[in-house]
Amino acid sequence: MKDLLRITDLTGDDLTLLLELAADSQGTPGTAPSLLTHQIVPMYFAEPSTRTRLSTAAAVTRLGGTPVTVGPDELQLRRGETIADTARVMGSYAAAIVIRTFADADVADLAAAAPVPVINALTDGHHPLQAVADLLTISEHFGHLLGHRIAYLGDPGNVARSLMEAAALAGMDIALAVPPGYSPAEEALAFATTEAERRGGSVLVTHDVAEAVKGASVVYTDVWMSMGDPEQERGRRMKALAPYQVNEHRMDYARDDAVFMHCLPAHRGQEVTADVLDGGRSLAFRQAANRLPATQAVLYALLTDRLAGR
């Protein structure tokens, strides 16, 4: 397996390995400190970033490399150079390429042409690094993944899609409570349903918040407006998603020991109330910290050819 573009690139064993590597790197951050000695990893960001940019830079540094951040105005893409040509050139200098952009097709084109591993650090369709960090956080908190149910409330976008696929590969139960007209992508739902059934888990999509959250170990949500969403959609989205806000009342439907998770950045008073996000049951900032070992694990596994892929 050369690249990680989406969770569906992984097998169940691949995901297990990444979680083990990530957990190991938490205690010993200097693992493989010479893997990337004298090498660079370009990080292309087409949009602003906090957690992804800093965690990736730290992961590359921990593996002995030098992260180099570039944006649209710093390359020749806007002057007509193709993605394929850019990939070939960057790959001749670098050990790997990390890209955060909008279209999944652009990431696929980059990976097809690049001679080195390419990692999707977020697109409109997928957020695999976040999903690995999420499962690491759940495993770290509860001690295991099997037998736990994730309830996701709100818009089933890129974060929900990757989380659903990862939970299915891990044999977990996941329930998505979404407004009418906000169904998850059919391809992702089909993959997750099949993989969950194979591993003893389950996938549920419902409009009923109580049904989704009942018995959940984890209640998860994401922002209602993502970067790139048209501003004229704000009013409609806010109205549709308001009943799916995570608050203390919603948390009461879950298990007594349930935790709250959010990929951040968060908007208090919209998708989650401040008392939940900043309360004692919130793991949101632990998730953010775990983006570092998760990214380090992915880089290490790809660069040492440890992943089988599909």
Q: Are residues 162 and 260 in the same domain?
A: yes
- What per-residue confidence (pLDDT) applies to 292? 97
- Residue range 12-53, pLDDT digits in tens: 999 999 999 999 998 788 779 999 999 999 999 999 999 999
> Could you give the C-alpha distances from 78 to 41, 74, 75, 83, 169, in angstroms and in order?
21, 9, 7, 10, 39
Q: Which of 75-79, 148-152, 173-177, 213-217 has the lowest mean pLDDT?
A: 75-79
Q: Are residues 161 and 56 in the same domain?
A: no
Q: Are residues 78 and 42 in the same domain?
A: yes
Within a domain: residue 1?
no
Within a domain: residue 119?
yes
Catalytic residue status for 286: no
Q: Are residues 59 and 38 in the same domain?
A: yes
Catalytic residue among 126, 130, 245, 262: 130
- Residue range 124-158, pLDDT digits in tens: 999 999 999 999 999 999 999 999 999 999 999 99
The pLDDT-based confidence of 173 (bands split at 50, 70, 90) is very high
Catalytic residue status for 199: no
Catalytic residue among 222, 250, 262, 287: 222
The pLDDT-based confidence of 194 (bands split at 50, 70, 90) is very high
Catalytic residue status for 161: no
Q: Are residues 148 and 258 in the same domain?
A: yes
- What per-residue confidence (pLDDT) applies to 28? 81
pTM of the model: 0.97
Within a domain: residue 2?
no
Catalytic residue among 51, 126, 127, 149: 127
Catalytic residue status for 127: yes
The pLDDT-based confidence of 228 (bands split at 50, 70, 90) is low
Long-range (24+ apart) CB contacts under 8 A made by 121-124 are: 121/43, 121/45, 121/49, 121/52, 121/56, 122/49, 122/52, 122/158, 123/158, 124/157, 124/158, 124/228
Is the bond preceding 128 in cis, omega lying within 30 degrees of 0?
A: no
Catalytic residue among 6, 51, 100, 149: 100
Catalytic residue status for 249: no
Mean model confidence pLDDT for the chain: 96
- Into how many domains does the chain fold? 2
Q: What is the CATH number of the domain that holds 295?
A: 3.40.50.1370
Q: Are residues 236 and 135 in the same domain?
A: yes
- Residue range 59-98, pLDDT digits in tens: 999 999 999 999 988 999 888 999 999 999 999 999 999 9
Q: What percent of the chain has pLDDT over 70?
A: 99
Catalytic residue status for 236: no
Q: Are residues 99 and 223 in the same domain?
A: no
Catalytic residue among 3, 237, 263, 296: 263
- What per-residue confidence (pLDDT) applies to 233? 85
pLDDT above 70 for 227? no
Q: Are residues 42 and 76 in the same domain?
A: yes
Q: What is the mean pLDDT of residues 273-298?
A: 98
Within a domain: residue 181?
yes
- DSSP track, 90-126: HHHHBS-EEEE-S-HHHHHHHHHH-SS-EEEEE-SS-
CA distance 282 to 122: 23
Q: Are residues 182 and 253 in the same domain?
A: yes
The range of the structural domain enclosing residue 235 comes to 130-288
Q: Are residues 162 and 241 in the same domain?
A: yes
Helices H, strands E: what count in the chain? 12, 9
Q: What is the mean pLDDT of residues 205-233?
A: 91
Within a domain: residue 308?
no
- Residue range 232-266, pLDDT digits in tens: 788 999 999 999 999 999 999 999 999 999 999 99
CA distance 62 to 292: 10
Q: Are residues 88 and 20 in the same domain?
A: yes
Q: Are residues 106 and 174 in the same domain?
A: no
- What per-residue confidence (pLDDT) applies to 166? 98
